[in-house]
Amino acid sequence: MGEARFDGKVAIVTGAGVNPGMGRTYARLLAERGAKVVVNDLGVGPDGRGSVRADPDAVVAEIVNDGGTAIVDHHSVADEASARAVVQTALDSWGRVDILVNNAGVGIVAGFEEISAADLQTMITVHLFGNIWMCRAAWPHMREAGYGRIVNITSGGMLGLPGLTLYGAAKAGILGLTRGLAREGQPLGIRVNALSPGGATVAAEHSYVIDPDALRAFKEACPPELVAPAVAYLCHDSCEISGTLLNASAGRVWTTVFADTAGIHDPALTIEGVRDHVGELLDTEPLTVLGDPRDPMGARNPQADLFVPKPYRSA
């Protein structure tokens, strides 16, 4: 099929100013393959406090020095107006936006009771609302063009890790956003997927105490550059899937799926009936996978079809 190229495409990569960092590798690979790239970063680093600075201007310089095309954008993604300004940067420069990689985020490791209200607010706003506002800003332009590729960056933290309960909640919200937008985008030519990356970045070293030998092995095995090809595929014309969660780390790429167990059915169900059949509820043979990644509209819930939304009235 030949080399996967992005010639003529305009991409926005948020949170792309950290080195080493995931967003930087996404921006560099897209530019290397021909995309014009908006390198967005507020510059406050992985914890959102500026203790480790990000430098999106340096990333743009790297791309340009390598023969690519990129411009910098310093707006926040965390509110509606500034997210629109990020998209406007692409429109003002190149008149279109084809690709959006929502990578921006802050990582604050803290217990559920320990984390401050301010840090909690920051984390939810940057991750969840940042994705929402960026998608909302880019969506009408993609809809008008009849084409778009959106990649929302999630995390394994959404499945439950110590110190990442609220971070995980925000990331799980991003996955829900992805699944819904995939349905809405299907008839519009917009494909929306999520990706959970694993790699050695500044954020990992900043947030955790890591044995030096283990850190060295981690860096060797899991450079962020090995995540970028999976992200770039989801950004490409040839991407056939939508509403899917991919994972990428150390050169391995795999999919996390949603599936139903057979469960039980009892028209006279009681508390005891549930209690006494928990084993059957949890039995993973057989499983019914939910959703078709090549046709998000195809696998429909018959019960959901009974509910027709009433006309929306704005508050």
Catalytic residues: 167
Place of tokens 């981690």: 218
Write the DSSP assignment of 114-151 as a string of letters: TS-HHHHHHHHIIIIIHHHHHHHHHHHHHHHHT-EEEE
Among 103, 100, 94, CA closest to 71: 94
Among 6, 17, 2, CA closest to 104: 17
Buried b or exposed e, range 260-269, using 16+ CB within 10 angstroms: eeeeeeeeee
H helix runs in 14-129, sequence order: 22-32, 56-65, 80-94, 117-124
Beta bridge partners of residue 248, listed in sequence order: 197, 253
Amino acid symbol at 216:
R
Cis link prior to 296 (omega < 30° from 0)? no
Place of tokens 């203790």: 51
CB 248 within 8 Å of CB 198 = yes
